Amino acid sequence: MARRRQAVTIKHVAADAGVSLQTVSRVINNEPNVRPEMKERVQASIDKLGYVPSIAAQRMSGSRSYLILAINDRERTIADWQSRQGTDWVDQMLLGGMLTCAERGYRMLVELIDTHSDHVERELGAAIAALQPDGVIVTPPHSENPLITGLLAKKHIPFARIGSKEPGHGIALTMGDEHLAKLATEHLAGLGHRRIGFIAGSEEYSLADWRIDGWREAMENAGLEHEGLCQRGDFGFESGVRAARALLDLPDPPTAIIASSDQMTLAALEVAKERGLTVPDDLSLISFDNTPLVRFTSPPLTALDQPIAATAARAVELLIDEGRDYVSDTPVVIEGDLVIRGSTAAPKRG
């Protein structure tokens, strides 16, 4: 039988560096009053021995838990997973958040909480009591749920609110939704489109209205009429079908449509095909999200790329570096960009 490799402990590091256990602990926890040369010596031993500090040991050494908790909407997340339709919000959040946590010696955990539940405070309270996180990332629509944000503030836990601009406790972050909607509208207007429709998301999300604001502002700046050119969905495929049909049934239908999710844009693409419209010759389409599947449609979809990973990474940085000390009257904005593919072109003349 192969011998089990002995785990490297803090005692091995202390012996190799010729210092006390307390000194190693101070270096690991990045505490003040440790001389630079001592830090270098201890770090050299850590690197040589391949020592990885356990979270349990770190938690015992001070008041921090070295955990960041991310909270996502249970109902929508499970529905996305079960549909297997390419939504990658959670993947991108983990990509940015987990890597940044790892760089700082932290770990990131995800909890699914039902924002519609009467027991939302109890669910969140149980997760906090069990994990005792050093900070919490709250995603839409939780980021604007006063029961959730109020509980975190009451417990004095630093938290970041992604997709929220409201003043109050926590670090507010957005992904420049108005800017992205304006960017898409300006691109289409620059191609010569005069009738640009917009399919908005659910009213439950403030960012859905921010996107309408960006589209409307860009339309007005270009001197284009927008009355009657906005339909609302719920970010899902079926609602996108209904909204796209309503827009294309107008007496003077749009020659281009921007939809607030990839699912609703795929729905608009399906409606265009059922009506014999060619994309982009007869109808140009732009999507929000830029999930992996939009690259494999026919044609590939022009999309607004939301910087979910970068936003989660920034939230982690602010929670670890500043936490409760963070004060700002304006949200942190991490802006995405427009990825142009084959679903947009100049409208047909005449």
| pLDDT for 2 beyond 50 | no
**Rounded Cα gap, residues 272 and 253, in angstroms:** 12
Q: 3 falls in which pLDDT band (50, 70, 90)?
A: very low
Quote the DSSP letter at residue 295.
G
- For the whole model, what pTM was predicted? 0.77
**Rounded Cα gap, residues 18 and 8, in angstroms:** 16
Instruction: Give the model's pLDDT for residue 4.
Output: 42
Residue 134: CB atoms within 10 Å:
19
Instruction: Give the model's pLDDT for residue 111.
Output: 87
Residue 323: CB atoms within 10 Å:
15
Instruction: Give the model's pLDDT for residue 85.
Output: 67
Q: Which residues, 6 or more positions from 187, have their beta carbon under 8 angstroms from its beta carbon? A: 286, 302, 338, 340, 344
Read off the pLDDT of residues 101-158 as tens digits, 9 standing for 90 and up.
988 888 899 888 887 767 787 888 888 888 889 999 998 888 888 888 888 988 889 9
Is 210 exposed, middle or buried, given 0-12, 13-18 or 19+ CB atoms closer than 10 A?
buried
Read off the pLDDT of residues 27-55 as tens digits, 9 standing for 90 and up.
876 677 788 888 888 889 888 888 776 65
Q: Which residues, 6 or more positions from 52, have their beta carbon under 8 angstroms from its beta carbon? A: 8
Read off the pLDDT of residues 192-238 as tens digits, 9 standing for 90 and up.
999 999 999 998 888 999 999 999 999 999 999 999 999 999 988 99
Read off the pLDDT of residues 166-183 as tens digits, 9 standing for 90 and up.
888 899 999 999 999 999
Q: First-to-last CA distance in the chain?
A: 81
Identity (one letter) of the amino acid at 41?
R
Instruction: Give the model's pLDDT for residue 1.
Output: 41
